[in-house]
Structure 1
Amino acid sequence: MIRPELNLLVALDALLAEKSVTKAAEKMGLTQPALSASLARLRRHFNDPLLVREGNSYRLTPLAARLTDPTANALDAAHKVFSSEAVFDPATSTREFQIYGSDYAFATIGSRVSTAVKEVAPSVRFRFMQHTPTIVEDRLDTLRTVDGIVLPHGFTSGLSGVDVYEDEWLCVVAADNEAVGEELTIANLRELPWVFTYQSRSAFTPAARQLQMAGIEPHVDVVVEGFLALPYFVVGTARLGFIQEALAERVTAFGDLRVLKPPFDIVPLTDALWWHPTHDEDPGHQWMREQFRKHGNISGEATNVGG
């Protein structure tokens, strides 16, 4: 066994990403013999070749393939440790904030924040990453290594959070859908097919859940993992779909879709930025979440909400 060293973790990450000693050495600015020596040490440590020649190239061994994501995550965590600052100055910081969420969250609050902070924090960067049901289910572990996740209420526990964005739910229908008049009816909701965004035990929209709570069992034709693609599955069909009011203007811009109010009351959507409690006292994180609160569309002072 070798004593773990950060430089070996960097070498392992480059080798797994490039699948080539030559390319990994170029990426790291090292000579090929130097990286070959690191690879030899890693092979002894894992008792596995990691890279195996296959014709004129190399492939990862099964162990190496399993190490790819944990290595990248461990390296990212190490970078976060060594880039931590006792005092955060947005004007000079080069920090990257990593946020999970839906494409809707990125198109609304994410775009607002990233645009608004450029004058005061020109070198701060945001990385917005699409969440998955697994990420939502494993949120406590996931949020140890990233800065936050934008989700509505009802999905989180054990996290700190602040409300950042409110919106109304509307229904989207094809402009040529003759089954729907100027107003939607309960019969439309029961009889017409639907496009749902997400559809699992841990991933669903509050609107879809309220539809079922109202005693309507929808016939779901299509499930799509995002909101921005949903209109494409409605155009030219008899399908219905739920969409947020903030997206309505762009959805109807080409004239092939209509948005209508649902024929029953739906509780408005409230998105919150959630983070792991270990970030509570981080000055840079405090600045970041204040930007989400400040540039959201919810007025009032910052208020943490329990999970």
Structure 2
Amino acid sequence: MAIDRLMANLDLNLLITLDTLLRERNVTRTADHLGVSQPAVSGALARLRRHFDDPLLTRVGNRYELTALAARVAALTGPAIAGVRRVFETTAEFDPSRLDREFTLVISDYAATVLAPLVAREIGRLAPGVRLRLEQTTPYAVDHAADTLRAADGLIIPHGFVTDLPYLDLFEDRWVCIVSHDHPSVGDTLTLDQLGTLPWVAIFDRPTAFAPAARQLRMLGIEARVDVVVDGFAQMPFLVAGTRRVALIQERLARQLAPVTGVRILDCPFDVVPVAEAFWWNPMYRNDPAHAWLRTLIVAAAAPLRHQSG
């Protein structure tokens, strides 16, 4: 009964104001963002403070900071707003051509380059009212995938990082090595000894953030001498070109970037497990027809990548 009384007295408009206030940490900026008056936001903040019995925002010098409670609430407002939106977007008959919704995918720059254009093309053809937001993966987003997927519609990363969440297989790709077109000591092939002595460009290079192929190399007893660490695969060819460096990269991305960066693509000198990209999602979307449509569309859009070699 207490929950029923709480819901009966709840103004959902306060949720939007709360979310914006906790992001902006400023009444004036919140009012500008929402297109309402400053007194209206001040009044809403007073109501929220009474509801939570907490100041939410406290002045520190010339700025406002979140209280401990507000920091916990801030992590919940985005998923709560998304959930409310899903409730009121539900219709008896689903028609993607009439859908007005934004889908957020957390995705590597590799998948954003080789897969996202295919997905965006299909969305534009079938559901012109849908907006696609692509957010770059980070080690934190992957390590906390369940939390990430409370606010995003999907996470597109290879197998090997996420467990205990539903997924759909998309496509595979090969790992290849890249070196500068004019590399002084590498010919048409690379050796394991060269991989152990040449300087590397590596992705993240952290215990829980790495290229699986690089982890395999370590298992062979070869520790890469990392010269440059990046947070995206697309940067690698530009940092390899004109240097003695080497990098491991997915073949499809390498073939797109090699002509414009001046790198050569070489086979890995060891038996490397392929990249197996998958779409990971939160089971709360299981009965959401729009999300089910998105899942089907992404798998269909990846079909050309499944039916061709890297």
Global fold match (TM > 0.5): yes
* Counterpart Cα distance in 2 of 1:135 and 1:20: 27
Q: Secondary structure at the match of 1:229?
A: helix
Question: Do 2:156 and 2:279's aligned partners in 1 also have CA atoms closer than 8 Å?
Answer: yes
Question: Do 1:109 and 1:164's aligned partners in 2 also have CA atoms closer than 8 Å?
Answer: no
* Counterpart Cα distance in 1 of 2:102 and 2:177: 36
Question: Do 2:119 and 2:297's aligned partners in 1 also have CA atoms closer than 8 Å?
Answer: yes
Tell me whether 12-21 or 89-98 shows the greater mean CA deviation: 12-21
Task: Please state which structure has a larger fraction of its residues in helix.
Answer: 2
Q: How does 1:292-303 map to 2 (within 5 A)?
A: 292-296=298-302, 297-299=305-307
Letter in 2 for 1:27: H
> Which residue number corresponds to residue 88 of structure 1?
94
- The yes-or-no answer on 1:201 pairing with 2:221 is no
Question: Do 1:192 and 1:240's aligned partners in 2 also have CA atoms closer than 8 Å?
Answer: yes
Going from structure 1 to structure 2, the CA distance change for 1:52 and 1:111 (only over 3 Å counts) comes to same
> Which residue number corresponds to residue 49 of structure 2?
43
Q: In structure 1, list runs of 5 or more residues that go unmatched.
A: 300-307
Q: Secondary structure at the match of 1:150?
A: strand
Letter in 2 for 1:241: A
Shift of 1:157: 1.6
Post-superposition Cα deviations, 1:54-101, rounded to whole Å, max 9, x if no partner, equal: 66xx53355556654443443333333333444321100012211112
- The match for 2:232 among 226, 236, 256 is 226
* Counterpart Cα distance in 2 of 1:144 and 1:31: 31
Tell me whether 251-260 or 270-279 shows the greater mean CA deviation: 251-260
Letter in 2 for 1:88: F
Letter in 1 for 2:276: T
Going from structure 1 to structure 2, the CA distance change for 1:90 and 1:141 (only over 3 Å counts) comes to same
> Which residue number corresponds to residue 304 of structure 1?
none
Q: How does 1:99-248 map to 2 (within 5 A)?
A: 99-248=105-254
* Counterpart Cα distance in 2 of 1:96 and 1:52: 35
> Which residue number corresponds to residue 3 of structure 2?
none
- The match for 1:60 among 38, 45, 65 is 65
Shift of 1:46: 4.2
Q: In structure 2, list runs of 5 or more residues that go unmatched.
A: 1-5
Question: Do 2:181 and 2:264's aligned partners in 1 also have CA atoms closer than 8 Å?
Answer: yes
Post-superposition Cα deviations, 1:91-129, rounded to whole Å, max 9, x if no partner, equal: 000122111121111111122111122111111121111
Post-superposition Cα deviations, 1:217-253, rounded to whole Å, max 9, x if no partner, equal: 2222222111011223222321110111111233222
* Counterpart Cα distance in 2 of 1:152 and 1:53: 43
Post-superposition Cα deviations, 1:4-40, rounded to whole Å, max 9, x if no partner, equal: 5422221122333444434423432333332221122
Letter in 2 for 1:48: P
- Give the length in aligned residue pairs: 296
> Which residue number corresponds to residue 275 of structure 2?
269
* Counterpart Cα distance in 1 of 2:134 and 2:92: 25
* Counterpart Cα distance in 1 of 2:94 and 2:123: 14
Identity %: 42
Q: TM-score, normalized by length of structure 2? A: 0.85
Going from structure 1 to structure 2, the CA distance change for 1:47 and 1:275 (only over 3 Å counts) comes to closer
Question: Do 1:175 and 1:255's aligned partners in 2 also have CA atoms closer than 8 Å?
Answer: no
Q: Secondary structure at the match of 1:220?
A: strand
Post-superposition Cα deviations, 1:115-146, rounded to whole Å, max 9, x if no partner, equal: 12211111112111112222222222332332
* Counterpart Cα distance in 2 of 1:122 and 1:175: 42
Tell me whether 227-236 or 117-126 shows the greater mean CA deviation: 227-236
Going from structure 1 to structure 2, the CA distance change for 1:185 and 1:49 (only over 3 Å counts) comes to closer
Question: Do 2:49 and 2:56's aligned partners in 1 also have CA atoms closer than 8 Å?
Answer: yes
> Which residue number corresponds to residue 24 of structure 1?
30
Shift of 1:163: 1.3
Question: Do 2:22 and 2:66's aligned partners in 1 also have CA atoms closer than 8 Å?
Answer: no
Question: Do 1:87 and 1:283's aligned partners in 2 also have CA atoms closer than 8 Å?
Answer: no
Shift of 1:180: 0.8
* Counterpart Cα distance in 2 of 1:293 and 1:152: 14
Q: Secondary structure at the match of 1:91?
A: helix
Tell me whether 135-144 or 266-275 shows the greater mean CA deviation: 135-144
* Counterpart Cα distance in 2 of 1:155 and 1:61: 32
Once superposed, what is the RMSD of the aligned Cα atoms?
2.5
